[in-house]
Amino acid sequence: MIKLDSAIENELKSRCSYDLGLSHNATKNIDAVRFLEEEDDIRPPFFHDTDRIIHSKAYARYIDKTQVFYLFENDHLTHRVLHVQLVSKIARTLGRILHYNEDLIEAIALGHDVGHTPFGHIGEKLVSDFCKRNNAGCFAHSAQSFRQFHNIEKKSQGINLCVQVLDGILCHNGEIVCQEYKNNKKKRKTTLLQEYKQCLESWDASTKLVPMSMEGCIVRISDIIAYVGRDIEDAITVDLIKRYDIPKDITDVLGHNNRDIINSLIIDIINHSFDKDSLSFSLDVYTALKNLVQWNYKNIYNNPLKTTQDGKIEIMFNTVLNTLLEGKAPDKIKHYYDDWLNKERSGEYISENKEARKVADYVSGMTDDFLLSVYSDLAVPKSFGFSFTDNFAGGNRN
């Protein structure tokens, strides 16, 4: 293995001036903590974590996990992979101007949604209901993102992300709009693991968490900024709403398109947070944003036109989850699950987790298309071909 020349390595260490340019309230690279000690790397710790995240299997599956609008044959609608990139860009913009650690921000932003199930929040609720029915706690996508990186990736060894990154991922809940965001300087490893375990057992535990870093707070508000206007553009694309439907008291403050909404929110945060120890909105902007999120829920996320297929999606999830739990899957599907469980998970994972939690981990990690494919194999009758013996042997009807 090729190693960095020692003279160059010493010179790079002596130039570690990045921390010096950060806000006094920013997370410094020198303060990065991991659960397992490692040898020094030429990359700063949080920068290194971004590499680990984008090379993970969970990150690769972002590409086919939908954001809000599933079951549409339109390649221009937002998927998870685009959403996390938008969050990262917005958060790094704020981090750069407010002098917070951009490397930490990017790692949290790119990793924060890997725990999402296929079919977005309806999938999250259905998997959680399944866990509750089978006495396996509950399911929240923020905790599952932590779980993917810490307990599932790399044959259940995890990829040893920094504590600050894992904390930002666990505490990223973007459904809660606040006027002010301030970090909670909690004890690191022990408190983080306690909060994670609470999120596996209580549905609302994740809503009460506060990030330990201001970088985590930046990602949390950037998550909202990234989706609230973008979801409006997607809703207009699929003819669910019209732009003039958005209330005027909101558009007068934030604007009526995604670009203006993002710009208004970012500028307002900068104006009220520069050289301060918290992130804040002005009262007018906070009120408009809160009202816009509520309007989105009523007119987009819970719109009856959008939810017409949700009953079928519920049947699909329950069929796949229950079939795997009961061990009644046909050979091909059983082979997939057995490979995932016995070849890619550790003995400790297998012994410590209830069967329902294992099934939830497996199904929640699926992409939308893979879940549809598995359900099709379970529910759609298959042709026998020409005969039982000649099905794949070139038999004919005559």
Per-residue model confidence as pLDDT tens digits over 227-254: 999 999 999 999 999 999 999 999 999 9
> Is the model's pLDDT at 122 over the cut of 80?
yes
- Ordered by start, the domain boundaries in the chain are 29-301, 310-379
Confidence at residue 395, expressed as pLDDT on a 0 to 100 scale: 44
Yes or no: is domain 29-301 CATH 1.10.20.140?
no
In which band, very low, low, confident or very high, does the pLDDT at 17 lie, cut at 50, 70 and 90? Answer: low
More confident residue, 384 or 297: 297
Once rounded to an integer, what is the mean pLDDT over residues 94-114? 97
Q: How confident is the model at residue 396 (pLDDT cuts 50, 70, 90)?
A: very low
pLDDT at residue 398 greater than cutoff 50: no
**What per-residue confidence (pLDDT) applies to 16?**
57
Residue 225: pLDDT band with limits 50, 70, 90: very high
pLDDT at 89: 98
| Structure confidence at residue 382 (pLDDT) | 79
- Tens digit of each residue's pLDDT (9 = 90 or more) over 63-86: 889 888 888 887 888 888 999 999
Question: Given this model, what pLDDT does residue 257 score?
Answer: 97
Crossing angle for the helix pair 331-344 and 310-326, nearest 10 degrees?
A: 70
Residue 386, pLDDT > 90, answer no
- Measured CA to CA, the distance from residue 363 to residue 368 in angstroms comes to 10
Identify the band that residue 217 occupies on the pLDDT scale cut at 50, 70 and 90: very high
The stretch 256-281 carries a mean pLDDT of: 96
Question: What is the arithmetic mean of pLDDT over 3-22?
Answer: 71
Three-class secondary structure assignment of the chain: CCCCCHHHHHHHHHCCCHHHHCCCCCCCHHHCCECCCCCCCCCCHHHHHHHHHHCCHHHHHHHHCECCCCCCCCCCCCEHHHHHHHHHHHHHHHHHHHCCCHHHHHHHHHHCCCCCCCCHHHHHHHHHHHHHHCCCCCCCHHHHHHHHHHHHCCCCCCCCCEHHHHHHHHCCCCCCCCCEECCCCCCCHHHHHHHHHHHHHCCCHHHHCCCCCHHHHHHHHHHHHHHHHHHHHHHHHCCCCCHHHCCHHHHHHHCCCHHHHHHHHHHHHHHHHCCCCCEECCHHHHHHHHHHHHHHHHHHHCCCCCCCCHHHHHHHHHHHHHHHHHCCCCHHHHHHHHHHHHHHCCHHHHHHCCHHHHHHHHHHCCCHHHHHHHHHHHHCCCCCCCCCCCCCCCCCCC
**At residue 220, does pLDDT exceed 80?**
yes
Q: Structure tokens of 38?
A: 């490692």
Give the model's pLDDT for residue 51. 97
Model confidence at 13, pLDDT cuts 50, 70, 90, reads low
Average pLDDT over residues 264-282: 96
Mean pLDDT (whole number) for 115-125: 94
As to burial, measured by CB atoms within 10 angstroms (0-12 exposed, 13-18 middle, 19+ buried), residue 120 is buried
Residue 285 has pLDDT above 80, yes or no: yes
> Which of 7-11, 58-62, 74-78 has the weakest average pLDDT?
7-11
- Summarised one tens digit per residue, pLDDT across range 297-329 is 999 999 999 999 999 999 999 999 999 999 999
Average pLDDT value over all residues in the chain: 91
